Amino acid sequence: VGIGLAFFIEYLDTSVKTIDDVERALQSPVLGVIPQNVGLLPDEGDESPHAEAYRVLRTNLLFSRKDEKLNTLCVVSAGAGEGKSTTALNLATVFAQAGQRVLLVDSDLRRPALHKFLRVGNTPGLTSYLLKQNSLEEVIQTTRVPNLDFMASGKLPSSSLGILSSARMKDLINELKQRYDFVFFDSPPIMGVSDASILASEVDMT
């Protein structure tokens, strides 16, 4: 009875514990495994103990591309506080450290955080450009990481949905594709609001 009960409990356990479980459940390959409580690579430097995990992710992302012209990427997750902004910043940093010209865009128009991580101002930014208040050159900032530029979110609008789905946003993404080797977009949680779904449909990779 005890053995049978153990097998029955195991059968009822549908939680995801290993990489194999993830790949079996999602029918997608795992591109990288990031440790919990990682630091920010711009603060920790090139020799950060966490940098290698992001270098592995970078390499697997490059190998998984079907076309070298695919160079815009949106980082999403289900809920808040799961590490989207940290992942976007650290991944953009390792791409920049490899010598590629990179732009990091804070397109989380709900709770932007990247400007705090980089210790820069939040305005002007993405919304300033989309609302035709500033030029593209005025909203792109340099960072302390060589080859890495940053576009803050800008002043938070009353409704971000219409801004992110606008024709001007699509034109901006196409313009940035030409200017940079890689462009990374941070997003709000995909559950609860549709901003992340809109962004995912407009960029090359998610």
Q: What is the predicted pLDDT for the residue at 44? A: 87
Residue 84 buriedness (CB in 10 A; 0-12 / 13-18 / 19+): buried
**Closest alpha carbon to 88 in 202, 188, 164:** 188
State the Rg of the chain over Cα. Answer: 19
pTM across the whole model: 0.88
Q: What is the predicted pLDDT for the residue at 178? A: 96
Encoded tokens for 119: 């210790």
Q: Which residues does residue 27 pair with via DSSP β-bridges, in sequence order?
A: none
Q: What is the predicted pLDDT for the residue at 183? A: 98
Identify the segments of the chain with pLDDT beneath 70: none
Q: What is the predicted pLDDT for the residue at 16? A: 82
**Closest alpha carbon to 76 in 182, 192, 174:** 192
